[in-house]
Structures are given as C-alpha cells and as structure tokens.
Amino acid sequence: MNFAVLASGNGSNLQAIINAIKKKKINANLKLVVSDKADATALVRAQKAKIATCTINPKNFDTREDFDRKILEHFKEFPIDFVVLAGYMRLLSPYFIQQYFHKIINIHPALLPSFKGTHGIREAFAYGVKVTGVTVHVVTEDMDAGPILAQEAVKITTKDTLESLTEKIHRVEHRLYPRVIDWFAKSLSRRQIGPGRL
C-alpha cells in the first residue's frame, strides 16, 4: 500500500512515521509528502529520508477544491492508496474526501468529541479537565467528527504546564499514530482495492 502525508508545520508526527517505517513497524510505503507551506520543516524531514515532496501554494487557486485537485494530480504519479494528515492545517474539500472516502486519517490532540479544532491541547488545559488525550480518526466532511480508530488518555496533573502537557501529548501521538497507520494499511490491503469508495 502506498500513502501520502499532508503536513503544514514542524512534522514531528511525520518524523515518527518515517522512523517507524525504517524499523518496519509500518508495512506501507510513504511515497509523497505534500505541504501548503514552502518553509514547513516537515518537507526537510521528508527530503532527508529521500521521500518525494511537493509544495502547493493555496494562494494560487480560487477555491479549496481547485487546490485539492492539484494535490490529487500529484497523487496519480505513484498512485496513492490512502492519505495521512500530520499537522495539516487546512480543511479538505468535500471533493477530495469523496475521492478517498474512508481512506484519510488524522490525529487530534484531545479525546474527541471534546475540544475539536486547532487548539485542542490549549483548550483542554484552560478548561481544567483532569484527563485529555489523543484521537486517531477517519476524516469526513465534518471537522473532527469521523469514526474514531483509536484513543489514548493523558492525565493532567497539578504540576503540568501547557508546555509539559504538550510534550506528553506529543509522546503519545508519536507512539500511537504509527501503530494505527500500520493497522489501517493492513485493513485496506485485505480489501484489495485502490483509491475510491470502500
């Protein structure tokens, strides 16, 4: 199975994925890393691992769908069987999601359905909950609302700061996401189908 990663920033989850592939803990081929930001560190991480990269500037497109169609053009070169979001800060268009229906997964730094959106760690900390965590889910047209594949809880202690909580969340993400990606790839492989609807 071939997969692509979409990333916008530092790419620490991407690095965890790359490391897991090297250790043969993910039985799938990471063929392409796409970013909407030319200065994303994720691109540097991919290039060091000799993985193909592509930067697409959303300002060059009139609509979100036009932008996503350009990404899909690049996917055809490999081809890509499923998609992994790793710190990707753009919402996918309904068109993109339909092309990879139930074949896009995302990791979220909170226990969904709580604290959806881009500031899950900060909002959980500010709210004062005693337990937060990490969720890996299937991407659907509704933000952070797709079927949950895995969750792991993280306790918030009285000694935690926002920074220490962030570190704890990231440690769980880096361990959990590669495991789920491997399971997801095996699950799709058993179905023996390419891009499109399940």
C-alpha dist (Å) from residue 92 to 101, 124, 146, 178, 191: 12, 25, 13, 22, 25
Q: What angle do CA 167, 168, 172 make, to 5 degrees?
A: 115
Exactly one of 74, 102, 108, 119 is catalytic; which is it?
A: 108
Cis before 113? omega within 30: yes
Active site residue 108: yes
Strands 131-138 and 104-108: antiparallel
- Distance from chain centroid for Cα 112: 15
Give 95's contacts (C-beta < 8 A, 6+ positions apart): 65, 68, 69
In 46-109, beta strands by DSSP E = 52-55, 82-85, 104-108
Which residues are catalytic, by number? 108
